[in-house]
A and B are shown apart, each in its own frame.
Chain A
């Protein structure tokens, strides 16, 4: 399907777009914008990337982590979910899973075209599911794409509810312990530019039913990838399921094991009995 392209001069600053995306929707039926939001010639800021790498545990290299490219698409997620023709709003939408493929190493000096659209509106037993589909191009070449799946709780969507198999998780012995400091939410906000106060404010977190702020799921994803740094192939796909939020400050466990295609990894509670995030990495064909 040919989608209308909305060209933005730059990645929208998240303040106002975020405010719009936060306004709760009274609609019960999930509706999504059909167009693609596009930003051309996006430069990457070295200082911000360096700090992103420090916060997430990556070594600063000439090629950037794929999760950093996701961060660059995120303002367009917010922009689309704040659009008038979106009845799905960020508030109440839960990021349930994410997948991304790095098709080739992306250099920090490369100018990027960032594209995002929403698709695959489908029913779920607790609401409606949507995919935010991001793509990064250099010239005509797709260098990265990602799918962020959100669940809009309480909304309806046409179609049959599919049975989604819950990823099995067997308790494991963590190989590493990550101590997440209280200020991690703030440090990640500075580099991700995601202003969602649920990651930084106790009051906001309480409003959503959490005792303390939660670390951003995409930080946990990035940290799990950086733990495998040096062993990751040049191009790969990574998919994660966000199973349980991680409260700050907190201590979590991490374990990874090689698979024929790449790695399976889990971020768990301290003793490895419950999973916060499951990640699979496979080398790109």
Chain B
């Protein structure tokens, strides 16, 4: 039985800078808080849902079943199944696609998608030689063998390792990759700072207008996204020193996302379940797509969503003008700006196998309630932040209004989706 997957609503924690107010909270704490807030908002306490799918990018070995454990800590019925899913910064959106697909196929009636990340509580691991020696010692059958294994440990092996932030195949950090893209697509410093300032200003206005009142639940005394700087300006941002791309670089801490802590969730269901539970329906989950680029061969790491969007639009018979709102995840201001330039490039788009350029976006439709530069970007949470916010914005505009989501992810991947207001 096929049915429409609809977005009922969402809930997230306010996002905060790593090492800030959530320094003591783990991904488990954050995800549990987001699920509990969602359960409180939609009366899900004690209810068994079809499935909960969520993930974290920075993950401790103890969190191998992060989502299921968070469900058990939450007020949802303990008989609610859950799975962990991870696609770097695409995690939250990919989890939404997974739940929406199961609903569409009639496998489940309702579900929660989400993501949590704590850059404050990142796992520190031991070096590879130390790990090997410890495993060998553990497997040893005699004391002699055990000592022999342990004798291989050298002082240099004891240095703890922080999680890798570099692309494994290129050795470049995400910022360094994006700096190459920024240069290649000739994205100016001014344009980046303007986009960053707009992100803060539109997010601040959305908070002032109470837009997030039914999307966010305070956590650990934080009521509002704490990275938000309502009083920032292009002028202030223009004074920051380059962080990526060398001394001539245009990417700064102000137009790049900060390492963040937070969690976000989306409640999805079929229309009947929402009706039976007297819940509102904001938007339909229409379609989604994933694409990847060959960044080890020199492709732009964070432009994978371009192909994903283009092919998704073609198969739905839609053009960029058919959308009322567009959310492009602001990994960096220049990612969004390079994406828009790529959409306009006949050459780039046809090289991806598209029939032509995706087109020019009316910028007044873009990220109208702020995006990751101002909100923050707990990696796995971002997709699950965008989905309910966009669904609500579309719903406010009226039935039939369409929204597009584009999220870039490490590994040269892009996850995109279409929502339509109910």
Contacts and interface: CB of A to CB of B under 8 A. Distances in A.
Interface of A: 46-47, 49-51, 59-62, 108-109, 229-231
Nearest to B74: A230
Interface in B20-69: 24-26, 28-29, 32-33, 36
A60 B25 contact: yes
B218 interface: yes
B24 A59 contact: no
Given A59-B32, A61-B29, A61-B33, A229 B219 contact: no
A108 B24 CA distance: 13
B296 to A, nearest CB: 40
Interface residues of B, number: 18
B72 interface: yes
Interface of B: 24-26, 28-29, 32-33, 36, 72-76, 78, 218-221
B29 A59 contact: yes
B24 A62 contact: no
Given A50-B24, A61-B36, A230-B76, 11 more contacts: A51-B24, A60-B24, A60-B25, A61-B29, A61-B33, A62-B33, A62-B218, A62-B221, A230-B72, A230-B74, A230-B78
B375 to A, nearest CB: 20
Nearest to A61: B33
A47 B25 CA distance: 9
Contacts of A59: 28-29, 32-33, 73
Given A59-B28, A59-B32, A230-B78, A46 B220 contact: yes
Main secondary structure of the interface of A (DSSP, over half): loop
23 contacts: A46-B24, A47-B24, A49-B24, A50-B24, A50-B25, A59-B28, A59-B32, A60-B29, A61-B29, A61-B32, A61-B33, A62-B33, A62-B218, A62-B220, A108-B220, A109-B221, A229-B72, A229-B73, A230-B72, A230-B75, A230-B76, A230-B78, A231-B78
Nearest to A54: B26
The 8 closest A-B pairs by CB, nearest first: A50-B24, A60-B29, A59-B73, A109-B221, A59-B32, A230-B73, A60-B25, A59-B29
Contacts of B24: 46-47, 49-51, 60
Contacts of B28: 59
Nearest to A60: B29
Nearest to B70: A59
A98 to B, nearest CB: 24
A62 B25 CA distance: 11
A106 to B, nearest CB: 13
Contacts of B36: 61
B221 A60 contact: no
A282 B28 CA distance: 27
